[in-house]
Structure 1
Amino acid sequence: MRVAVLGAGAMGCLYGAALHRGGADIVLVDVNAEHIAAINARGLELERRSGTERLPIPAVRPEELEGPLDLVLVFTKTFMTDTALAGIAHAIGPATHLLTLQNGLGNEARLAAHVDAARVLIGISSLPSDLVGPGRVRSHGEGGTKLYSAFPSGDPAFAEQVAALLTQGELAASADPAIYEAVWSKAIFNATMNPLCALTLRTPGFLGAHEESLAMIRAAVDEGIAAAHANGVMVDGQAIHDLTRVSITDHADHEASMLQDVKAGRRTEVDAINGAIVEAARGKGVATPLLEIFWRFVKLEEAKLAGE
């Protein structure tokens, strides 16, 4: 399988490495010239709890990507999806599938604007990963991947093939027909933990050490559960609460993507995460005051960083 990872940040590199180990023909696609140069010069350096490895995976700019591809794994920021896919349109053929493991809700609709809906897959990752320097990624912590066809017209067999490649490449993955429950569960988790990390400029371990944050975590998750249920997605609420506890313990020092963005003065994905949940809840007459406060405060932080 010939696969391009579109957005070779921390998560993109982690998954590119797994697909490489699994036997796929991988190319990393990014616009960070220093990162691309480091990967091509020394290989992708990936530090895991089991040790550090260097993988000979090529990295290119979008215009350098050659097609056709069997799969594009989309790991760009949600607000860059359309621009990024347009930049590699020349490499997307009539049989190319697109898989999003991006944060938030609504990603499948963005991908379906670029290929037939039958070739769109959606999924979630519960793995931590940090970009520690050009060509260098660290992932300390356990987790997994779920994915499936985003629309009823899709082919589950292709999702199973991708999941098998990831599992063979040492990232446990499964093809899960209940994928939207997983997507909503991850979005609720992110809408709770990411803004709190970004607004306090602290990692999950700090949040777990204070009752003030623990109380907000419990309440925000409950709001998200109510929003999902109102929209007909019957998430397992206890599993989401359990995941927040894993975050503050096993992933205590992990810098959430929203925290990394705020520290770097970049736009966050809060609209696709908190904003999407709040709006979906509002459409069903469900109040999510804490998740909305998180959303609005992060937007204020973005405005402050942008000098507006």
Structure 2
Amino acid sequence: MVGEKTKLKQQTARLSIISNSLLVLLKLIVGFYAGAVSIISEAAHSAVDLIASVVAFYAVKKSGQPPDGNHAYGHGKFENLSGAAEALLIVVAAVWIIYEAADKFNAAQAPAYLEYGIVIMLVSIIVNYWVSGRLLKVAHETESQALEADALHLQADIWTSAGVLLGLVIIKVTGWAWVDPAIAVIVAVIVFKAGYDMTIKSVRQLTDVSLPPEEEKLIIDILTRHSAVIAFHRLRTRRSGSYRLVDMHLVLDKNMHLDMAHAVCDQLEAEIKAELGLCDVIIHIEPCDYHEGFGHCPIPGSRNIRRQLF
């Protein structure tokens, strides 16, 4: 099952590489031929998407490898690292676009052969709409953060391409040369915003922020409705690529047989994985009188379940 998901992620990431390569080439040719900085800025944006696609491809390939002696928790963090790398590339591209646009403002001249630019922008919008939809679908199916980041980049490219398309049409109708660099600056702002958002998300993932409250609540609900669970504490959660890592201390009846306690843990792990998907769940078992404050062991099934903070 995991191997099939890894293969699907790699195939989808490869599709993004192919589409971005073609768009970069076409936009560069048309941009320099027409002398339109807005189209060239879009080529730079697509080039960033291409690099991001390559990074995402190798990230999902690496993250799909099983744990080894140096990576006991697996290689999921490679997907998180790819997000950080993509964020940096996006910011660099935004700065470069603004630099080119500012230089163009000083000697604004209406681009030639605008029809070619309009056609390539339409092609870019159609291709990116289809590829980003495919990426997002697979990202949700496999819970791949690398593919999700790649899909969001392409969706941003759709809007920037639409902006450039609108600018080219305006120049075609009015002859206003300043619209070309102005559209390029707007593109840069959108690109920079995408880079900023991705940076924040990457930092949170790399610093092991807890799972969202709604996901932790699902775990707590599973624990509290189980008749054998007396209390639990030290619930800790985080993400590593597509995997969720969960560990906790579970308080059970001190007279419970070991094989029964093991069966309870197996059942809880199965229910958590059924709710959240790919998980690595570690449960530390403690007898009910291990900590002070219980006084006596509650009767199993009495619903006297507590979440302790220690």
Provide the TM-score with structure 2 as the length reference.
0.22
Higher normalized helix content (fraction of residues) = 2
> Of the two, which has the highest radius of gyration?
2
